[in-house]
Structure 1
Amino acid sequence: MERTNEGERLPAGPAHVRAVTPGRPAPGGPAGPGRPDGPGALTPADEERRRGVRRMKAIATGALLLMATVFALATWAEHAGAGAWTGYVAAAAEAGMVGALADWFAVTALFRHPMGLPIPHTAIIPTKKDQLGRSLGDFVGENFLSSDVVRARLRGVGIGARLGEWLGRPENADRVTAELSTALRGALTVLRDADVQAVVSEAITRRATAREVAPGLGTMLEKIVADGGHRRVVDLVCARAAEWLGEHGDSVMDAVAGGAPGWTPRFVDRKVGERVYRELLRFVTEMRDMPDHPARGAVDRFLTDFAADLRSDPDTRARVERLKNETLARHEVQDLIASVWGAVRSMLVAAAEDEHSELRVRARTALLSLGKRLAADGRLRGKVDGWVEGAAVHLVTTYRDEITSLISETVAGWDAEHTSRKIEAHIGRDLQFIRINGTVVGSLAGLAIHTVARLLGA
């Protein structure tokens, strides 16, 4: 047997030496959970707690030695005829020793075999470590991760009210806006442009291909014509056509003359060209200046008929679909769709970096508004509390087994001896008070029993 610095006797041998030698790994292989340099290793705070435990052990052991010394002196004095009082002192000291030894055994049995003897139901923590881990996991799952407990706790916290009060402060809204901007920039930086462009292009193309556009175009065109929205386009076309004809009269006359038969005289071709030009210019000018020109009515009727065909004529709809698919298949269109992401990304990054950008200003305003609404609107607070409770309950009920298994598996992965030491470092100091109290209570009980026995004997 050898005595450790905690004052307990442990079995000597290579295994014990390896377990307590600083800087050497515990038996069983390399570092891992519960080993000196693993997750279950003693931290500097644990070492400080262990020093406190050793001090309390020394005090408790000192109390036991004091009781033994007093018992020896009182017994000697009783045999030397010092008086009846020595019997009372001896009885108190004897009972104090018994109480101290009994509580020493009980406290020591939690963490190791007392005096190294394999007494049944001792070294409870090292031998029952895995069972304790499972019990701890079950206890946490049943008492902390149940839906009723989570709902009651969150309902008592009042998430909606606290969130409203917190967001209602401008400095907090600024902080949240800044954090969201940082997160947005980080996300945009991490994303690969090629991947996002491919996804965007595929999504837009698939959606456009799967949906027939002709009926929608027909409905939109019909509404535009009914509201007279197309008239501005007609006005613009007529004005531009009149300007062009006024500037390019020679080109029109040359085109007409160039299309005349070869056997006609040149001056005749010239006259015909001039006549055609004047008629075209007159027609376009009248159409530009006369809102009720017959040609405008013809345009209205054409657009109305075309809108109806887009909605109901199978041939027209089929031709529009073919044109749509051919247009989407062109490389230029695909490149344009892919470039949308680059433009959006640049815009978002710039807006996120600029504290005075419209995006950040609107986000800050929205957060402040949300905070004020939460503070003033009880129904909205109730909805927020319900959402938070529902989300928390879903997470707890869905992942409760994973959480409890994490506890039990983590404890199971710890080294038994280091687990015992770690637990003892946390609660051992309080347990030494049990030894001290046992010494004091045992002494008082022994004194009381001896007194009663003397009184009854008298």
Structure 2
Amino acid sequence: MTAIDELRATPVRTTPTDEERRVALRGMKRLATSLLLVAAVVFAVSFALQDQVPWLAYVRAAAEGAMVGALADWFAVTALFRYPLGLRIPHTAIIPNRKDEIGATLGAFVEDEFLSDEVVVGKLRSIGISARLGEWLSRPENAERLTAEASVAARGVMTLLGDDDVEDVIEKLARRHLFEPEWGPAIGRMGERLVAANQQRAAVDALFEKAEEWLEAHPESIGGIVSGRMPRWMPDFVEKFVDERAHKEVLAFVRAVREDPAHPMRETIDRYLADLANDLQHDPLMIGRLEQLKVDLLESPRVREFAGEVWTSVKDTLETALDDPDSELRQGFRSAVVEVGIRLSTDAELAAKVDEWVTDAAAYVVRNYRHEIAGVITETVERWDPKETTEKLELQVGRDLQFIRINGTVVGALAGLAIYTVATGIRSLM
């Protein structure tokens, strides 16, 4: 059985509600008060009849001690929370009168005893955070749950983001990273590498292939250009012949260039591209022309429109993917979560590194912010109303304090009986 299974198999203890605590407190108060009343009745009866029935003197002594113990402990318990019988006796109603001091003391106690480096680091190292987290994440149902929660959070973030603000960011990033650097040298260096590696051949092949397809589909295109320049008195059959001949020659030339990797036209194109790449890097005139083109593009409203189109497209795509449980985005995230969980639970070295990182991070937070963390307790208690504070604390510990009254009644009875017995024994010996 794994650590996670053991945790699941452990019965969960439910914390009583305030109403349940209040009912239990009232029951214990009634029990403690009932014992006091019983002791008082027993004392009254035994006191009245002890002359006729001598052994009742022992009962009276026990009942008398029980009443004294019960009253003393009632006073002590009541003095913690309020003034006994409404009398403002010194050192009573301790909690409402010293609420702020109690909060400060509690905060200092938590800071010194619970938020020390030794306690926090020792606890984190002992529980094996990575192993437990890894086992939890490796379960598909948990990965699905985490993915769903992350999707909801992501949609919430996207809702909070203003479209105009995001478009401004995209535009600024585009200006900074796309438009501020010089285009010429960068494009020239990239073109030089492509030509040196003959990477331009694929583009040239595609260009002549498309040209051949277009010429085959539009035979009139070349013919119209040639026959349109001939004299008007030229017979139609001559123009038609010339047009067909021109189209065939151009088509044959394009086909020859496409089929022959060593065609002179290809070599001419390669030399042109190499010269162009060199000019883009070293020719000030060419660099200046490209920079002017960049400035014209930068001043165009299309830059802002581009930013808006990019964000709209990204936002729509993300929203659709986040809403669809079967989208590639969510499936990828689920798979990543499960993979991380498996690695954390099986890779001891990785788990140790994560544990160490978490421990160091927690120790840093505790070391630098322990006073602020403990201060939350002090500030919270200070904001409480004294009456509210008294009720909260009494609900938490009042039921257990009533046992003090019950024990005081029992112990008082035994003490009273013992004292009377010893005193009577000494008196009989004298």
Give the shorter-chain TM-score range. 0.7 to 0.9
Task: Tell me the distance in 1 between the aligned counterparts of 2:129 and 2:138.
Answer: 14
Report whether the alignment pairs 1:55 with 2:30. Answer: no
The residue type equivalent to 1:115 in the other structure is L
- Once the two structures are superposed, the pairs formed by residues 97-176 of structure 1 within 5 Å of their partners are 97-176=67-146
- Once the two structures are superposed, the pairs formed by residues 225-240 of structure 1 within 5 Å of their partners are 225-240=195-210
SS of residue paired to 2:326: coil
* 1:421-456 CA distance string (max 9 Å, x none): 332233222212111111111221232233334444
Contact kept, 8 Å, 1:328 with 1:334, in 2: the verdict is: no
1:82 counterpart residue number: 53
TM-aligned CA distance change 1:172 to 1:332, over 3 Å: same
Task: Tell me the distance in 1 between the aligned counterparts of 2:415 and 2:282.
Answer: 105
SS of residue paired to 1:152: helix
1:216 pairs with one of 186, 195, 200 = 186
Task: Tell me the distance in 1 between the aligned counterparts of 2:279 and 2:292.
Answer: 15
Shift of 1:283: 5.8
1:64 pairs with one of 32, 36, 43 = 36
Task: Tell me the distance in 2 between the aligned counterparts of 1:93 and 1:45.
Answer: 37
TM-aligned CA distance change 1:355 to 1:90, over 3 Å: closer
% identical equivalent positions: 48
Structure 2: gaps of 5 or more residues: 1-15
Task: Tell me the distance in 2 between the aligned counterparts of 1:214 and 1:165.
Answer: 54
Task: Tell me the distance in 2 between the aligned counterparts of 1:299 and 1:200.
Answer: 37
The residue type equivalent to 1:69 in the other structure is V
The residue type equivalent to 1:164 in the other structure is G
1:196 counterpart residue number: 166
TM-aligned CA distance change 1:59 to 1:334, over 3 Å: closer
Task: Tell me the distance in 1 between the aligned counterparts of 2:286 and 2:413.
Answer: 109
TM-aligned CA distance change 1:58 to 1:289, over 3 Å: closer
* 1:53-88 CA distance string (max 9 Å, x none): 33322332332233333334444444x2533x3443
Count of matched residue positions in the alignment of Structure 1 and Structure 2 = 403
The residue type equivalent to 1:435 in the other structure is R
TM-aligned CA distance change 1:145 to 1:211, over 3 Å: farther
TM-aligned CA distance change 1:441 to 1:233, over 3 Å: same
Structure 1: gaps of 5 or more residues: 1-43, 259-264
Shift of 1:45: 4.8
TM-aligned CA distance change 1:277 to 1:175, over 3 Å: closer
TM-aligned CA distance change 1:58 to 1:363, over 3 Å: closer
Shift of 1:255: 6.8
1:451 counterpart residue number: 421
Task: Tell me the distance in 1 between the aligned counterparts of 2:131 and 2:333.
Answer: 20
2:149 counterpart residue number: 179
1:416 pairs with one of 363, 383, 386 = 386
Task: Tell me the distance in 2 between the aligned counterparts of 1:149 and 1:316.
Answer: 69
Contact kept, 8 Å, 2:138 with 2:338, in 1: the verdict is: yes
Task: Tell me the distance in 2 between the aligned counterparts of 1:316 and 1:396.
Answer: 61
TM-aligned CA distance change 1:56 to 1:81, over 3 Å: same
Shift of 1:204: 1.7
1:248 pairs with one of 192, 216, 221 = 221
